[in-house]
Amino acid sequence: MHRSEAEVVYRCHNHACSAQIKGHLQHFVSKNALDIDGVGEKLIEQLVDHGLVNTVDDLLHLDQATLSG
């Protein structure tokens, strides 16, 4: 985490940070990108938090067996 003296917010510069991963994936599925219906912020958070998804490739290759657990 890093905070510039000119800013009041902290920013994570680690691309492996779960917040960075979630933000990247949320953008990827958003209406401004691929507009993937049914995949939103809450689902992305759950998938990342459970270690099922860390990259766009992971998301695109999810299958029923992985989700069933």
Task: Read off the pLDDT of residues 48-67 as tens digits, 9 standing for 90 and up.
Answer: 999 999 999 999 999 999 88
Is 27 in contact with 39 (CB distance < 8 Å)? Answer: no
- Which one-letter amino acid corresponds to residue 66? T
Please tell me whether residue 27 adopts helix, strand or coil conformation.
helix
Rounded CA separation 55/57 (Å): 5
Give the global pTM.
0.76
User: pLDDT: is 6 or 3 the higher one?
Assistant: 6
Rounded CA separation 34/60 (Å): 12
Is 40 in contact with 31 (CB distance < 8 Å)? Answer: no
Rounded CA separation 5/27 (Å): 28
CATH architecture under which domain 18-68 falls: Orthogonal Bundle (1.10)
In the chain, domain spans: 18-68
